[in-house]
Amino acid sequence: MRTHVRLEVLAYELMRRPFVIRSLTVVIAAMAIASSCGSNGSVADTSPDVTNSTTSSVAGDTATATSPTAATAVTTIVDPTTVPAPSSVPQPIVEPLTWTACPGSKKIKCARLQVPYDYEDPEAGSFSLAVRMRPADKSPAVGPLFVNRGGPGAESASMASEAEFYFSKQLLNRFDIVAFDPRGTGDTEPHVDCVDEIDPYFTADITFDSPEERQRLIDDAQAFNDLCAEKSGEILPYISTVASARDIDTLRRSLGYDTISYFGFSYGSELGATWVKFFPDTVRAAVFDGASDPNASYLQAGLDQAAGFERELNNFFDDCASRTTCPAHNDGNPAALFDEMMRRVERDPLFVNDKRTLVTSTVAYTAVVDAMYSSALWPTLAEAIADATKKPIADGTGLLALYDDYYQRGPSGTYDNLLEAFIAISCLDDNGDETVDDVEVQIPKFEAIAPRLGRFFAIGYNCALWPVKSKPKQPMANIGSGPIVVVGTTGDAATPLESSRKMAAALTDGRLIIATEDQHTGYGTSDCVTNRVDGYLVDLEIPDKESTCT
């Protein structure tokens, strides 16, 4: 299965939708995919909290609290530790964070938090997590609001610096926004580092019709994995969602709070649910926006996502067909123009410039998937389809730009480590395909549920060839001890509404707010959604069991 189509795929949950300009047509969008697989073992916080009972303030004096080819996978680097019984995992001693002004900002504070590679073996090594905090605008603050924008693999510390893009004024007034780069990501050290360029590893034609083309896909995945093992092999066994959930609690303890509030987008919902399961007594309030089904199998999660993206692609076709001004209108049949484009790039990939990849079918599919994260990108996709089917000279520039957006390629041609960390964390959490044959036997199921996009979601060999053995996935049920809010969106391709509904059902007291929108995640799309979420977080006003905002 294609690993990076699950930020719920690189879908990045990088949803940088500026909160204050959510009504604009163009959304700074995109890639938000939270991996639907995760290890959910039992690691409750039962050992004594060793934090001293001194008063610690997150934001100066704003708030204080008293703390108490291959058909077989390659040889593994090392088996990650199994999830231990709660009593067998001691809590590391933590020191209060030392805040300093972040470079270039008087308001945002920066700190480093040391956490062990392995909570069972503190001597194995440690991560230095990059932490940032934006103090509440008003005093007294409710307390800290821990936030995560998704991934897995996306850095999140920037959410404190860019909080105005994510959260309402009410939340900024009342909460200290606390964000950190999870282990292996962003500015946390060490972080996953595999390659400097994406094109050589993720552009080969997935519509292979020869053994040689198939082998190239396998070889590309193996080459990428080998570089990850060579450059980051030391940390690959230690970057699971379970471990990051424990880091949330370590950060809580370092701040001196008995309970905290949490807001996670996309994969941040899975991370949050894992934290809630392990440490339910430390939860003041939690919001999961764009949540995946916590109990879906690796295969079912992929099928659900493929179906979600196919549905949104059909919605795109319907929207384009209804407007003669749509560049891909094609006399009311944009779907036929899309099919023509895909046949064109499969037969003869498009040249853009001599410094970049050809626009192959895989590049084109990636561009389309990127645009399905938000209807704000549909006009861009329509233009790209029209350009790629021009006669006599087709132009793939628009498709390549969307492909670059998906992988977050910077203007200078550089990438952050989102993709590398995404694959590394997803494959560690994943308990799905174990061989290349396992991947390919599922192709018909994906193509049946998603005739146009299914193969793109099915073909991906990285996890089947990953050098670290995955952890077994365990069921989630009756998570948490109090009301938790889940936000689901009717037109969310990455985390379909039904998946968010299943997350709510897995909680002891899940409260589902439905946003009627064509995009990934729903907070900030309407005053209705925002006010209900804010009322819950700030004043603990509990919404109905299920409610809809239109």
Show which of 342, 377, 406 is a domain's final residue: 406
Same domain, 459 and 349: no
Using DSSP bridges, classify how beta strands 283-289 and 260-265 pair: parallel, antiparallel or unpaired: parallel
Under 8 Å between Cβ of 161 and 132:
yes
Same domain, 281 and 381: no
pLDDT score, position 2:
63
Mean pLDDT across the stretch 424-446? 91
Residue 50 in this model has a pLDDT that exceeds 90: no
Cα 199 to Cα 195, 342, 352, 387, 409: the distances in Å are 10, 19, 13, 22, 11
Average pLDDT along the chain:
86
Give the single-character DSSP code of 177: E
Least confident of 17-21, 227-231, 334-338: 17-21
pLDDT score, position 433:
78
Domain presence at residue 98: no
Same domain, 481 and 373: no
Q: Two tokens at 277?
A: 């399961």
Amino acid, res. 174: R
Q: Two tokens at 5?
A: 């189509």
The proportion of the chain whose per-residue pLDDT surpasses 90, expressed as a percent, equals 78
Domain presence at residue 401: yes
Check residues 168 and 8 and name the one with the higher pLDDT. Answer: 168
44 by Cβ neighbours in 10 Å (0-12 / 13-18 / 19+) ranks as middle
Give the number of C-alpha atoms closer than 13 A to the C-alpha of residue 284, restricted to the C-beta side: 21
Place of tokens 């905002």: 549
Residue 118 in this model has a pLDDT that exceeds 60: yes
Same domain, 346 and 432: no
Same domain, 73 and 116: yes
pLDDT score, position 44:
34
Using alpha carbons, select from 506, 516, 463 the residue that is nearest to residue 484. 506
CA distance 174 to 285: 14
Domain presence at residue 211: yes
Name the pLDDT band for 324 (thresholds 50, 70, 90).
very high
Domain presence at residue 249: yes
Place of tokens 């200078």: 412
Counting the structural domains of the chain, the total is: 2
Least confident of 57-66, 353-362, 466-475: 57-66
Residue 1 in this model has a pLDDT that exceeds 70: no
Mean pLDDT across the stretch 369-379? 96
Least confident of 47-51, 196-200, 302-306: 47-51
Same domain, 303 and 220: yes
Name the pLDDT band for 11 (thresholds 50, 70, 90).
very low
Under 8 Å between Cβ of 74 and 225:
yes
Indicate which CATH number applies to the domain containing 531: 3.40.50.1820
pLDDT score, position 187:
97
Residue 68 in this model has a pLDDT that exceeds 70: no
pLDDT score, position 384:
98
Show which of 349, 373, 406 is a domain's final residue: 406
Using DSSP bridges, classify how beta strands 126-134 and 175-180 pair: parallel, antiparallel or unpaired: antiparallel
Same domain, 21 and 129: yes
Same domain, 295 and 329: no
Mean pLDDT across the stretch 111-140? 96
Name the pLDDT band for 3 (thresholds 50, 70, 90).
low
Give the single-character DSSP code of 65: E
Q: Two tokens at 47?
A: 């050992």
Domain presence at residue 94: no
CA distance 369 to 262: 29
**pLDDT tens digit sequence for 207-266:** 888 999 999 999 999 999 999 999 999 999 999 999 999 999 999 999 999 999 999 999
Under 8 Å between Cβ of 512 and 501:
yes
CA distance 89 to 44: 9
Domain presence at residue 328: yes
Domain residue limits at 218? 1-79+108-317+407-550
Same domain, 27 and 130: yes
Residue 6 in this model has a pLDDT that exceeds 60: no
Q: Which residues contact 114 (CB under 8 A, 6 or more apart)?
A: 126, 127, 128, 129
Same domain, 402 and 442: no
pLDDT score, position 367:
98
Same domain, 308 and 392: no
Rg (CA), the chain: 22
Under 8 Å between Cβ of 35 and 522:
no
Query: 480: part of which helix (H) or strand (E)?
Result: strand 479-489
Same domain, 331 and 423: no
CA distance 520 to 523: 10
Straight-line distance from the first to the last Cα atom of the chain, in angstroms, rounded to the nearest whole number: 35
Domain presence at residue 351: yes
pLDDT score, position 38:
33
- Beta pairing partners, 116: 126
CA distance 347 to 341: 10
Show which of 367, 391, 406 is a domain's final residue: 406
Domain presence at residue 322: yes
Mean pLDDT across the stretch 295-322? 94
Residue 473 in this model has a pLDDT that exceeds 90: no
